[in-house]
Amino acid sequence: MNFKVASFNINSIRARQEMLANWLTKNKPDVICLQETKVMDKDFPVEYFQEIGYNSLFKGQKSYNGVAILSPHPMTPIAGDLGDVAEPGEARLIAAMVKDIPVVNTYVPQGQAPDSEKFAYKLAWLKALRDYFARNFSPDQPLLWMGDFNVAPEPIDVHDPKRLLGHVGFHPEEHKVLNYVKEWGFQDVFRKHQPEGGHFTFWDYRIRQGLVRNLGWRIDHIWATAPLAEKSTNAWIDIEPRRLAKPSDHTFILAEFALSAN
Amino acid sequence: MNFKVASFNINSIRARQEMLANWLTKNKPDVICLQETKVMDKDFPVEYFQEIGYNSLFKGQKSYNGVAILSPHPMTPIAGDLGDVAEPGEARLIAAMVKDIPVVNTYVPQGQAPDSEKFAYKLAWLKALRDYFARNFSPDQPLLWMGDFNVAPEPIDVHDPKRLLGHVGFHPEEHKVLNYVKEWGFQDVFRKHQPEGGHFTFWDYRIRQGLVRNLGWRIDHIWATAPLAEKSTNAWIDIEPRRLAKPSDHTFILAEFALSAN
DNA sequence: GTCGACAAGG
DNA sequence: CCTTGTCGAC
């Protein structure tokens, strides 16, 4: 079977639930990971997405963060968290079994500024995430890690690597710890299919005409363990939704896998 | 020629400029009076309505009030104000010549509560309005007065006249002063064509299901001096826009006149 | 630029 | 219920 997955930092699911429904109806992914839903669980629009055939799993909080996984297939929640490192109440990680594939969706802390407490927290959070993977999964088994990583891994993943090196999101310390997680056993599925640079998933609202000038960052990712990554057939970014009236500052990243059974 | 006029308390022209453009394109009035535009003059979407063939005259302020007249025809502003009575800076009155007809658009103060200062202000404001008409116009000449009067004139203009008598918007003092203005020389054009009750232009947002239960008020009006009123051919309320996703709490009131020349 | 929270006004 | 301005976050 073909298995189509997507990730999208939606920057408020309530402000953009209609655009998401339109996109799902058109693109029909088997699973989509959402970040920055910015909604408490009691207010998540479950029925709204149920009506278009999507089930929802979500972990939210007031105002900030919030993650969700939507799928037309049955989903089983996967328990587990980052332990002491993560601030309690922060909704940044959710995981589910979908079609026998474990899917982990993260909204990695943004990090504010390299000299800030929040930056240290971001590094510690990513470090703890490797331990989370090691505790709960195996690199020899299929596993999907998707979401807003808030890190552009390589120079070709930002529009001006010289100027931006050392900024939050493209900092050597971030690269070090992201590689530390990667070494546990992940491959960058998008990079496998799109080796050239200039493909971005995020354009800062505050940079005028950032999209048409392509002044973006590739900070949203689809990573997989080797046994799954080798089954990927394609990966791409859909920038059309960024041309809509009230777009998110991020856009959709997608990948497809050719799965054997089921 | 047929002369079609409309009035609408839009409750923010920025929040509803698209719905207004749709309505204008469909209904093609020769003039529309808007209240509660809630936008400063520098931010009024002139070009947006120019693109669909409507010219704009407007008087706005920050956050509150704001009036505008839109027309596909050339418009000449008519100077004049209420003098000392009106609070300076309050954008509640605007007037223009359209096709040789003087059009006065008012957003009468709401009045808050009968025992409040604001209620006394409302009464004084309406009294000063008669003086404004007397100073600037003649009851023997065509004149249109349209807008949100914030008064339901008769028992058939509120859904529960017994209970509501004495409330703001249906208070004997308001009826007295509104009649004082009317006696200068106005006729209620809507009432002429729709003698029966139960036709409303406003439903309080805070009354749940107010529209379907028809718990409304007729507080938006189209009044004219005798020489113009006798040329009116029809008047009606369009409640369709109140069924949209983000409706105003008011809706459109319209009238048509058969004018001799031009 | 755009979001959510909040408080004030209707 | 809905909009506005202000605020903090990203």
Residue-wise pLDDT for B182-226, tens only, equals 999 999 999 999 999 999 999 999 998 999 999 999 999 999 999
Q: Express as a percent the part of chain B with pLDDT over 90.
A: 97
Q: Average pLDDT in the B227-255 region?
A: 96
pLDDT-derived band at A82 (thresholds 50, 70, 90) equals very high
Task: Enumerate residues near strand C (beta carbon within 7 A).
Answer: A 11-12, 14-16, 38, 40, 62-63, 205-206, 208, 246-247, 249; B 64, 110, 112, 118, 205-206
**Residue A120: count of CB within 10 angstroms of its CB:** 14
pLDDT tens readout for residues B146-179: 999 999 999 999 999 999 999 999 999 999 999 9
Amino acid at B225: T
- How many separate domains does chain A show? 1
Spacing of B64 CA from D3 C1' in Å: 10
Burial state string for A146-172 with b = 16 or more CB within 10 A and e = fewer than 16:
bbbbbbbbeebbbbeeeebeebbbbbe
Distance CA A148, CA A252 (A): 11
pLDDT tens readout for residues B100-116: 999 999 999 999 999 99
Distance CA A90, CA A141 (A): 28
Closest-approach nucleotide to residue A11, Cα vs C1': C3
More confident call, B260 vs B155: B155
**Residue B89: count of CB within 10 angstroms of its CB:** 9
DSSP A167: B
Closest-approach nucleotide to residue B247, Cα vs C1': D2
Closest-approach nucleotide to residue B111, Cα vs C1': C10
Segments forming the whole domain that contains residue A203: 2-258
Distance CA B235, CA B242 (A): 18
Spacing of A61 CA from D9 C1' in Å: 15
| Catalytic sites of A, residue numbers | 107, 148, 250
pLDDT tens readout for residues A191-249: 999 999 999 999 999 998 899 999 999 999 999 999 999 999 999 999 999 999 889 99
Whether A150 has a binding-site annotation, put simply, is yes
Q: Which residue is nearest to nucleotide D1 (CA to C1')?
A: B205
CA distances from B56 to A79, B42, B75, B94 (A): 60, 13, 8, 11
Environment class of B114 (CB within 10 Å of its CB; exposed 0-12, middle 13-18, buried 19+) = middle
Whether A9 has a binding-site annotation, put simply, is yes
Q: Which residue has the tokens 């054009």?
A: B189
**Both structure tokens of A134:** 């090691």
Whether A36 has a binding-site annotation, put simply, is yes
Whether A22 has a binding-site annotation, put simply, is no
Spacing of A119 CA from C7 C1' in Å: 33
Spacing of A112 CA from D10 C1' in Å: 8
Distance CA B249, CA B238 (A): 13
pLDDT at A52: 97
pLDDT-derived band at A262 (thresholds 50, 70, 90) equals low
Q: Express as a percent the part of chain A with pLDDT over 90.
A: 97
**Both structure tokens of A257:** 């896998």
pLDDT at B262: 56
CATH of the domain at A89: 3.60.10.10
